[in-house]
Amino acid sequence: MKSIALLRERATRVMPTGSHCPASGLWSPDSDPDAVQLFAEGHVLPAYNGVPTLWRRRTSEGSA
């Protein structure tokens, strides 16, 4: 059952500052969708410009 929970977590596309990144890839802050940052799985998602934000995982096409 743990593997199902991990798969569900990796499918999560929106995570708040302070959360562990569920999957490696490109992420953008809600406050600046054109800003793209690469995070590795397990990395703690940071604040953006000193402000907590929601991070959205980018799709392979580059859109959020």
The CB density around residue 10, as the number of other CB atoms within 10 Å, is 15
Residue 3 pLDDT: 65
Neighbour-count burial for 16-27, b at 16+ CB within 10 Å, e otherwise: eeeeebbbebeb
pLDDT in tens, 6-59: 556 567 799 999 999 999 999 999 999 999 999 999 999 999 999 999 999 997
Q: Fill in the DSSP letter of residue 1.
A: -
CA 39, 52, 14, 9 dihedral sign is: positive
Q: Is the pLDDT of residue 64 over 60?
A: no
- Whole-prediction pTM value? 0.77
pLDDT at site 5: 59
| 3-state SS assignment for residue 14 | strand
pLDDT at 58 (0 to 100):
92
